[in-house]
Amino acid sequence: MDDEALTDALRLAVDPPDGVNVEALHDLIRDDQATAWGISTVAAHLQVSPHTLRYYEHIGLLTVPRDPSGRRSYDAAAVRRLVFLTRMRRSGMPIAELQRYVHLVDAGPETVAERLDLLLEHRDTLRHQIAQLQLSLAATEHKIAAYTEGPRP
């Protein structure tokens, strides 16, 4: 059930249906303090390796509770942060910037302005990237058309 919810959240994150519904994603992974997940479960759902999850923790991007025998036990907060982290990574945010961001988050509410700056900057980067990719896509499609239609490409 919770596992399913996580799966759904991640499917939304990776492979969006027609409308992008950020609200829904947000709801799907909201607090749910009963359950916890093992490292390989989380890794599989986020499409990263357990090694990577340990690495992220090691470099201070998040802290993960342990079970009595010392194993990582990812709670809802950890998973939510990981969803954020992996999405930012996939969209090209460098790890150093993620470290800066989570440091601000952990520092408390007086850093909100700075976090906002960081997000605004990333938004601009994303828009720029999308524009560039669309241009590359147009160029690629044009070349494809030249190969398929034109007798002398």
Partner DNA sequence: GGTTGAGCTCGAGCGCGCTCTAACCCTTAG
Partner DNA sequence: CTAAGGGTTAGAGCGCGCTCGAGCTCAACC
Asked if residue 107 binds its own copies (CB under 8 A), the reply is no
Classify residue 29 by burial, with Cβ atoms within 10 Å: 0-12, 13-18, 19+. Answer: buried
CA angle 72, 76, 80 (to 5 degrees): 100
Other beta carbons within 10 angstroms of residue 55's beta carbon come to 13
Could you tell which of its own copies, DNA, none binds residue 132, using a CB distance below 5 to 8 A set by kind?
its own copies
Selected binder of DNA within 5, 38, 100, 111 (CB under 7 A) = 38
Which 61-80 residues touch DNA, going by CB under 7 A? 66, 68-72
Asked if residue 47 binds its own copies (CB under 8 A), the reply is no
C-alpha closest to that of 86 among 64, 118, 56: 56
d(CA 117, CA 13): 23
Q: What are the tokens at 87?
A: 């999405």
Selected binder of its own copies within 34, 58, 70, 152 (CB under 8 A) = 152
Asked if residue 122 binds DNA (CB under 7 A), the reply is no
d(CA 68, CA 143): 59
Which region, judged by CB under 7 A, interacts with DNA, from 13-21, 46-54, 103-111, 142-150? Answer: 46-54
Nearer to DNA, 136 or 153 (CB): 136
Other beta carbons within 10 angstroms of residue 128's beta carbon come to 10
What are the residues binding its own copies (CB under 8 A)? 2, 4-5, 8-9, 12-18, 20, 22-23, 25-26, 87-88, 90-91, 109, 112, 115-116, 119-120, 122-123, 126-144, 146-148, 152-153
